[in-house]
Chains A and B, each alone.
Chain A
Amino acid sequence: MTNMGQTDEIRTQRDDAPIRDEDVDRAFKYEVANQVGGEGLLRCLKCGACSGGCPVGAVTDYRPRKVLGNVLLGLKDLVLSSEDIWMCAACFTCEERCVQEVNFTDIVTILRNMAVKEGHAAEGYLEMAKTVVEHGRVVPMTFAVNKMRDKLDLPPLQEPAMDEIAKIIQASGFDKILALYKGRDRT
């Protein structure tokens, strides 16, 4: 994944050429809209209020409206492989302000879940998930932590329910998702 977070870099779409029929997947928007939380997608007016309040948009050329536009157009491959869908900070400002109740942040979750199944998961989040699967928590419990806790009169940290976590990720199929990425190096 390349770093496109800088303001001085001008990004263009992967193809500057006009969008062609063969790039368009007409079913894509329905695929998104039919999922839990995606129902608002087809109500989008492309008014841009979401982009206007976006804190990431304030420092880069990332725009939620542009992502929505591409989804509505049916540019499935472009959207799911783009860094854009991983640039949302999940602040929910767009969701809060949208008069059409499109719930863009929920749509980002749907798009990310689809992208993950195609091998495009953000490495940083994957690493956190691996830690949780292994240790039950995003910060593993250490001796040093318990020593600091003791100094503040805090009880020792409890052992997380690892057996339950293992069963949950198996039943939800998350172990299979992680297996997709096995052996892949952190870039």
Chain B
Amino acid sequence: MKMAIAWGCLVPSRRSLLGYEAATRKVLEHLDVEIVDVPNETCCAPFWMQSLDIATSRAMAARNLAKAEEMGLDMLTPCSGCFHSYKRVNHTIEKYPGVHDQINNILRTAGLRYEGTVEAFHLVDFLYNQIGLDVIQSKIVKDFEGIDLGLRYGCHMLKPHEILNIEYSERPTFADEILEGLGATSKQYTGRHRCCGGLLRGTEDDLADEVLRDRLIDAKEADVDALVTVCSLCHIQHDMGQRIIKNKFGIEDLDIPVLHYPQLLALAFGFSPKEIGLQQHTASTASFAAKLKAGAPVEGGGK
């Protein structure tokens, strides 16, 4: 299988997010998915840009889609913000032909055109629906038994389901199924589906802190070995933001490792924590890596 991939702005350039890219590349290669980076990728102009001027945002998102279309490939992305932007453009084009013309009138000045033929996939949905749990399980060499995970679906991979069309967002299960398929327990807990306030970061910082504090307390009370995120903003909030919340609100022993979803798969496939950047996260992942190491490898496994 061959896919175009858009990494977004944050994933390939933030210290604690580089592991997201590293793990994604390793996992996809291991699963025989060939990826081609969108040539000279530019910002997908997500919700904050939509807030300033949605017409500009749509054209900017369509720029990367047009590049995938030129290559005749569908588009994959690990970032929920990018995913949302691309799905929104496709949905709007379909529903409002006038907007399609508007986008192409703008793109034409840059020598581009987008017909609307590129399907956009979020990495996690792609793993579940295009690869399948059985294939993923056939590659496991490390069992996650005894590991409790707190999965964060985040907002922009699922909501609104009318546009994103993966699963209804109130009680999704697909991403849990893969984690459970690795042998881990994906814990249900209060607040796991609520927003982390990521989009308020940088513009309403106090508010972003207040919302995040609630999410981190939820996770702390759930007593998980690690949180797992599928979105760059969710990771920035829960991982980098943890220190802010700890200091600002005086919450002691707030030390929850926050992993990127494909990092779990990479570890299960036998890649080392170091290869997938676990040491680069802001909240230490050492306790998680130690617990994983203590667990027994799958019988007859080995990479």
Contacts and interface: CB of A to CB of B under 8 A. Distances in A.
B22 A153 contact: yes
B45 A132 contact: yes
Given A59-B210, A171-B105, A96 B170 contact: yes
B53 A172 contact: yes
A13 to B, nearest CB: 19
B138 interface: no
A78 interface: no
A128 B160 contact: no
B286 interface: no
A21 interface: no
B109 A91 contact: no
Contacts, number: 205
Contact of B51 (A125, A127, A139, A154): A125
Nearest to A110: B54
A124 B22 contact: no
B48 interface: yes
A168 interface: yes
Contacts of A12: none
B63 A109 contact: no
Interface string B214-246: 100000000000000000000000000000000
Interface string A161-187: 101110111111110010000000000
A60 B45 contact: no
B197 interface: yes
B52 A92 contact: no
A77 to B, nearest CB: 19
Interface of B: 9-10, 12-15, 18-19, 21-22, 25, 37, 39-43, 45, 47-56, 59-60, 63, 92, 96, 99, 105-112, 155-156, 159-161, 169-170, 194-195, 197-200, 202-204, 206-208, 210-211, 214, 275, 277, 280
Interface of A: 3, 5-7, 36, 55-56, 58-60, 86-87, 89-93, 95-96, 103, 105, 108-110, 112-113, 116, 121-129, 132, 136-139, 141-142, 145, 148-149, 152-155, 157-161, 163-165, 167-174, 177
16 contacts: A59-B207, A59-B214, A87-B204, A90-B47, A90-B155, A91-B195, A95-B160, A109-B47, A123-B203, A124-B204, A132-B43, A132-B49, A136-B43, A142-B13, A145-B12, A152-B277
